[in-house]
Amino acid sequence: MKKFLIAAIASLALAACGKEEKSTADITLYFMPGCPHCHHAIDFFAAELSNATIEKINVTEPGKNQEQFLNALKKCGLSSRGVPLIIVKGECIQGYAPEVGAMIKELLGGSDPEVGAVVASDEAPTTKPSKKPAKKK
């Protein structure tokens, strides 16, 4: 019985590894409820990008959410498990500061994306150091 149970669990795990859900959201946000930077990002989205569709994934919920977070980190080439992790049109941004808001607007093509715009990319999300915000003088 134990061997059957172990085989069944292994089969389910292997089947789940091959399936990846594609988001139709403009922005995917991986967050933790107690994270102040995550809440700043959420507040920014509500105030500045109210027309954007945002998929919020609480990484403290065991199971699927944690698995999605770990997969996203891997695709982004990130080893730190820091949140928030924001993915916009395949671009990964880890952390949040006011300058990040400008980067997100730029990635979305302006300050007010159309309702229901879909992020479609067959490529894995990437990090681009050149997208760092310019320092203010």
* pLDDT, tens digit (0-9, with 9 covering 90-100), for 22-75: 567 899 999 999 999 999 999 999 999 988 999 999 999 989 999 999 999 999
Residue indicated by tokens 């808001």: 101
Q: Where are the domains of the chain?
A: 22-127
Burial class (CB in 10 A: 0-12, 13-18, 19+), 104: buried
Q: What percent of the chain lies above the pLDDT cut of 90?
A: 54
* CATH fold group of domain 22-127: Glutaredoxin (3.40.30)
Q: What is the pTM of this model?
A: 0.65
Q: Is 124 helix (H, G, I), strand (E, B) or coil?
A: coil
35: left (phi over 0), alpha (psi -120 to 50) or beta: beta
Asked if residue 11 has pLDDT above 80, the reply is: no
* pLDDT, tens digit (0-9, with 9 covering 90-100), for 90-102: 999 999 999 999 9
